[in-house]
Amino acid sequence: MTSGTSVVTPERYKTGLGSFAEWMDAIGQRKYEFQRHYDEYTPDPADIAKLKALVERHGVHAFVIGEDWCPDVWRGLPVAAKVAKQSGMEMRYFMRDQNKDIMAEFLNQGEFESIPTVVFYDRDHRYLGHFIERPMLANEEMVPLRKILEEAPKEDGPERQAVMDRYRAATWDAAPAWRHATLKEFVALLERALA
């Protein structure tokens, strides 16, 4: 996060969409992917219990910033939504391209507008930390998966579509472990910040 005063004041935070349903109503594409990731994810009860305890003890709340065209957002935002609901954590949702000033505070490596980004606060709206894009497990497993894309012809057509379909199927197969890893990283981040 950049130094100085955040543009995400408590008042600005409240302007974010207030639920996953509101996010779904606001987006223009990929609703199937968002809903499927949400529906297929069952968080680990032990991780939810840890998060719920932090929410109750410290008033942890968060926001997520994303866009509907991004595969990492299709996978990650539903995780944030489901764990917020199950833990009682307030979660707000912001569109990145309509909130560039917020995105500017949470750039990946100080340079990239990577999404989704999930930002956590305590009950006094003190910044606790943020999660960017995907869990470490997904970063590691994306390396071999991206090799599939190297087989895709540059021009659009059935051959390119077949490679893209194979890549998407592989990421769906990997998604359950990535979802669980995301929640574990949320909990670890908060436990470090609130220790």
pLDDT given at position 4: 61
Which range, of 7-16, 141-150, 171-180, averages the lowest pLDDT?
Answer: 141-150
Considering the chain, what is the average pLDDT of its residues?
95
pTM attached to this predicted model: 0.94
| 14-57 residue pLDDT tens | 999 999 999 999 999 999 999 999 999 999 999 999 999 999 99
Phi, psi of 130 (to 5 degrees): -145, 155
pLDDT given at position 2: 45
| C-alpha Rg value of the chain to the nearest Å | 17
Does 1 have pLDDT greater than 90?
Answer: no
Half-sphere exposure of 53 (CA within 13 A, CB side): 10
Does 113 have pLDDT greater than 50?
Answer: yes
Q: Could you give the C-alpha distances from 133 to 22, 59, 162, 167, 184, in angstroms and in order?
A: 21, 24, 26, 18, 14
Distance (Å, rounded) from C-alpha 188 to C-alpha 102? 24
Distance (Å, rounded) from C-alpha 112 to C-alpha 70? 14
| 128-142 residue pLDDT tens | 999 999 999 999 999
Percent residues over pLDDT 90 in the chain = 94
Q: Which residues pair with 132 in a beta bridge?
A: 117
Are the C-beta atoms of residues 130 and 120 closer than 8 Å to each other? yes
Phi, psi of 15 (to 5 degrees): -80, -10
Does 3 have pLDDT greater than 80?
Answer: no
Name the region of 162 (left: φ>0; alpha: ψ -120 to 50; beta: rest): alpha
Distance (Å, rounded) from C-alpha 73 to C-alpha 126? 25
| 164-189 residue pLDDT tens | 999 999 999 999 999 999 999 999 99
Helices and strands in the chain, H and E counts: 8, 4
Does 92 have pLDDT greater than 90?
Answer: yes
Could you give all domains of the chain from N- to C-terminal order, each with its CATH number?
A: 10-138+176-194 (3.40.30.10)
Q: Directed axis angle between helix 71-87 and helix 31-40, to 10°?
A: 40
